[in-house]
Amino acid sequence: MERDYNEGLHLETLRVIRYSAYTTYIGIPAKKGSKKSNLTKFYPLPLDTKPKVLSKENIIEIKNMKEPLITNGKMRGYIDNDSNALYSDAIGGNIIAYINNGIIEKVN
């Protein structure tokens, strides 16, 4: 148990150092006119969490999802991700207003 604890502590220290190196690299300004190389991935460590892979169906569901619009503590309706329409219900509701430049314009 002591060995597992020490190994876990060592891995956690490596994760913190890796994160610190990544944030330091991101913060360093690049020379004018030169491109900074992209760091996409660090060397993986044991017990790192694996990113969740979304299926095409999940991606379509997320795109079609409507988010609630709350202003001044009141629920105004559901806004669509692709348009500026405000709906009365999250699932197939009627259009009750449009949002133009942050202003809610009611539909007659």
Same domain, 38 and 82: no
Q: How many separate domains does the chain show? A: 2
**Rounded-to-10 torsion of CA 92, 95, 101, 103:** -120
Q: What's the pLDDT score for residue 71?
A: 77
Residue in the block written with tokens 């300004």: 29
Query: Which structural domain range is residue 63 located in?
Result: 56-106
Average pLDDT over residues 23-35: 73
Structure pTM?
Answer: 0.37
Q: What's the pLDDT score for residue 37?
A: 60
Same domain, 1 and 45: yes
